């Protein structure tokens, strides 16, 4: 299975600022997924990122708020823009590999 | 619309006994189902999966059962160990295509399993 390195592991940010989360995969993958887990909630898909094309966003998520880059088959970033306290969540990237899906360790974001 | 549901927020089991975690789904297009375990401050860890062409898959202490007609799956852990204490998520995907295509996952709300020594 693929191994994902996700950074940062946690951050505390001021409202109105932006944070960029990075995921590096140790193998080439076609699709990368970005999820959000709000406190006490399940994981919700934000968007699917394919290399060389624009990300596909789920209902309720927009590119202006969560811009995604996918410059190659092993790397992706998610930016949380113009943050508010409601953005305080755990953000996770994921790839499909080996019959399952592998997740990064997550980024715990607190917006104050 | 919650397409994947785990109706039990928590489960408490004695060490050595069986833990049974349940999951229901509503979307008939789902053809691949997975169970994940999650500890605080970590990403979900893949446990076991099952495709819709099977009704059972076993891996060590973990067995997943799928009842397509009832749109229900369950995870059995036997014997349960204190280290199994975590949040367990059921997830489903459509269009798995025999392992060559990875679609997005839809997750249930999770069940907190506590295994007492």
For residue range A19-46, what is the model confidence (pLDDT) as tens digits? Answer: 999 999 999 988 899 999 998 889 999 9
User: Please, which residues have CB within 8 angstroms of residue A59's CB and are 6 or more apart in sequence?
Assistant: none
Closest among B66, B58, B60 to B92, alpha carbons compared:
B66
Distance CA B34, CA A78 (A): 25
* pLDDT tens digits along B24-40: 999 999 999 999 999 98
Q: Does A76 touch chain B (CB under 8 A)?
A: no
Q: Closest partner residue to B46 among A41, A101, A104, by Cβ?
A: A101
Give A99's contacts in chain B (Cβ within 8 Å). 49, 99
């Amino acid at each position: 299975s693929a191994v994902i390195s996700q950074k940062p592991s946690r951050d505390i940010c001021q409202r109105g600022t932006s944070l960029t989360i990075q995921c590096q995969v140790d193998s080439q993958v076609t699709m990368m997924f970005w999820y959000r887990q709000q406190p006490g909630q399940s994981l919700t898909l934000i968007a699917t990122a394919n290399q060389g094309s624009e990300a596909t966003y789920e209902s309720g998520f927009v590119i202006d708020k969560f811009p995604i880059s996918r410059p190659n088959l092993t790397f992706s970033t998610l930016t949380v823009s113009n943050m508010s306290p409601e953005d305080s969540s755990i953000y996770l990237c994921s790839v499909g590999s080996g019959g399952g899906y592998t997740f990064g360790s997550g980024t715990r974001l607190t917006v104050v | 619309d919650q397409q994947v549901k785990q109706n039990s927020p928590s489960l408490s089991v004695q060490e050595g006994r069986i833990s049974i975690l349940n999951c229901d789904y509503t979307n008939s297009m789902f053809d691949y189902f997975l169970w994940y375990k999650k500890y605080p401050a970590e990403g979900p860890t893949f446990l076991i999966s099952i495709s819709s062409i099977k009704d059972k898959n076993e891996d060590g202490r973990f067995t997943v059962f799928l009842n397509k007609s009832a749109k229900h799956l369950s995870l059995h852990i036997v014997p349960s160990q204190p280290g199994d204490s975590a949040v367990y998520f059921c997830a489903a995907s459509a269009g798995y295509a025999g392992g060559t295509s990875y679609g997005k996952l839809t997750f249930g709300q999770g069940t907190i399993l506590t295994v007492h020594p």
